[in-house]
A and B are shown apart, each in its own frame.
Chain A
Amino acid sequence: MMILLQFDSKTVREPVISQTTLEKKTLINIIRASVGAREGELIIEVDDSRADEIIEFIESKGVKVTKIYEKIIKDDEKCVHCGACISICPVEVFRLEYDYRVAADSERCVRCGVCVTVCPLKALELSKI
């Protein structure tokens, strides 16, 4: 599961991710990070089955946590099923179905946003968190 962490001026100085890894003995995959002097934002991926306890732990450190459910959104009114997105996605979210329509497995999305800039029909959009 993908989770958005928002750090304020205090928590941004704390090694929260390392603490979580050590304490919870869990692997954390950092998908995106934007860390400044006064605040920070991280998108991390954690094991689905342990998401709740990990979230609870991170929250206890004073970090704001939001679960990310929907990631890439495909507008089927705009999509012409050309498939330009298929080969550029690093995690293979897109594939051609049996009827040659482009399907998006949004669960796999890591929110890198590459497909959004590549789609000739502007049919792709990252969900707001």
Chain B
Amino acid sequence: MTGKSIEEINRRISEGSAVVVTAEEMKEIVEELGEEKAAKEVDVVTTGTFGAMCSSGVFLNFGHSDPPIKMKRIWLNDVEAYTGIAAVDAYLGVTQISDKLGMEYGGAHVIEDLVRGKEVELKAESYGTDCYPRKEIVTEIALEDLNQAEMVNPRNAYQRYKAATNSSNRILRTYMGTLLPNYGNVTFAGTGEISPLNNDPEYRTIGLGTRIFLCGAEGYVIGEGTQHSPPFGTLMVKGNLKEMDKKYMRAAVFPGYGVTMYIGIGIPIPVLDEEMARFTAVRDRDIETEIIDYAIPRRNRPVVRKVNYEELKSGKVEINGEEVRVSPLSSYSIAREIMIELKKRIEKGEFYLTSPVKRIPTKATFKPMRQKEIVVVRNLMSKAISIPENTTIVEASKIIIDKGVNHLPVVDESNTLKGIVTSWDIAKAVAKGKVERVSEVMTRKVITVYPDDPIELAADKLRKHNISALPVIDAKKKVLGLLSSEDLSRLIVKR
């Protein structure tokens, strides 16, 4: 296998003889010519993505005021930035929301306003020191007034991402968009076969020091991104905000979730040899992910089914025998514009390729948070006093008094949950008269928990539904116990 070097490719770029194609075009070329010929023919493949990337932000240096201030807290258009670093440095994250406007306006909007040439209000306060006596300042700044405005994004360009759906009976507003009840829709992120990391899945050419297209500017990869976990790889990137183009970045609000920013990234991939030709020929059908259920507010959300990007991009997927419509959340259209723009820049000799100084890991796991102690329902639940459906009101009232309980789960012969009656239901039935059996007054739509659910989830259910106990059931709806608000209060007494 003969290969070519990055130096060789760069020489061709400077001579104007490099063959540059977009990732979209490369699929066709490899299919037609085969990997060997395609590797000889093509020098560079441009890739692109344009999606909501929450883990982004900008380092800003404002210069010193007179008299100088060591900023302790700082706001830009009422959006707070982090300034626990030197006197007039700050980091503004895109998801930070405005103190005054809330989710309507955030860090991403401030960044977009700066790039659009608008003036932004800077407000800062401090405690005053001998070297920095000033305690507060309010002024207006524009992008050109800043010494540095360096975008540094800890986690961008997700290689692939889990698609989202919702099994519950209420609308969910998430960072994956609005999810309709009862598997009403599916959303997914990422651009699949044209996305940078999918075209270099072994990270042979994309690594620390790789020159990239970042929101229109020349940027760099500065390492693997946070939560990097191949094949769900991510990148940490940086680039000069002053060189960026508003066309390739956009502040956005996901209703009910908050502010984020659409970031445009293009990465040129050198076709060094046959292997790189094969990698860049990847198709959406080869890129697999999972559809997960956002109705379960846990770290490990259940997998509804496996799916590939070809199915997702088709606009419809099947869930439980029904056709469900799919929304992409990344813009394929702008990602394409980025691939084409990057291709043009390379062809014109305005953009050269780099070899990575250090490669990013091909193996890494994304660990869960270490928590002090996770108390689950099982640790606190008490024994359930269950009754059959044909229990009479009189019998039920006796049980309630004898056992000193307020909740009686109603079950069938196999201990499967059918309903629940409370002492209140029984009292009401007695007052009304004419009611004989508990099956006539029981609540049939029972709110339940699983034994391994964290107690925070149980407490949230009690509060949301304004109830005082939850039957604890297994996957087959068999009653395992009961968790009441009294059980939960034991936690506080224990402390």
Contact = CB atoms under 8 A, between A and B. Distances in A.
Interface of A: 80-88, 92, 95-96, 99-102, 114, 117-118, 120-122
A86 B177 contact: no
Contacts of A83: 327-329, 331
B333 A84 contact: no
Contact of A85 (B253, B324, B327): B327
Interface in B410-446: none
B328 A118 contact: no
A-side interface mostly: loop
B262 A88 contact: no
Contact of B327 (A84, A100, A114): A84
Interface in B249-283: 250, 252-255, 260, 262
Contact of B333 (A81, A95, A122): A81
- The 4 A-B pairs of least Cβ separation, nearest first, read A87-B185, A120-B252, A87-B327, A87-B325
Given A82-B328, A82-B330, 5 more contacts: A82-B51, A82-B52, A85-B327, A88-B327, A120-B253
A85 B326 CA distance: 10
A101 B254 contact: no
B185 A96 contact: no
Contact of A120 (B177, B184, B325, B336): B177
A82 B331 contact: yes
B96 interface: no
B63 interface: no
Contacts of A99: 333, 336
A100 B332 contact: yes
A120 B52 contact: yes
Contacts, number: 78
A45 B363 CA distance: 58
Interface of B: 50-52, 177-178, 180, 184-187, 250, 252-255, 260, 262, 315, 324-334, 336
Chain B CB within 10 A, most for which of A92, A96, A120 = A120
Contacts of B336: 99-100
A82 B336 CA distance: 12
Given A81-B332, A86-B315, A117 B255 contact: yes
A80 B330 CA distance: 9
A92 B329 CA distance: 17
8 contacts: A80-B334, A82-B52, A83-B329, A84-B178, A87-B180, A118-B177, A120-B260, A122-B253
Given A96-B315, A121-B252, A84 B332 contact: no
A84 B328 CA distance: 6
A121 B260 CA distance: 10
A100 B253 contact: no
A22 B180 CA distance: 37
Contacts of B52: 82, 120
Contact of A87 (B186, B250, B330): B186
Contacts of B255: 117-118, 120
B186 A84 contact: no
A27 B334 CA distance: 44
B315 to A, nearest CB: 7
Contact of A81 (B253, B326, B331): B331
Contacts of B253: 120, 122
Contacts of B327: 82-88
A100 B262 CA distance: 17
B333 A101 contact: yes
B326 A87 contact: yes
A30 to B, nearest CB: 22
Contacts of A80: 50, 250, 252, 262, 331, 333-334
A79 B52 CA distance: 14
A79 B254 CA distance: 14
Contacts of B252: 80, 120-121
A99 B362 CA distance: 34
Nearest to B51: A82
A120 B332 contact: no
B178 A88 contact: yes
Contacts of A121: 250, 252
Contacts of B324: 87
A84 B250 contact: no
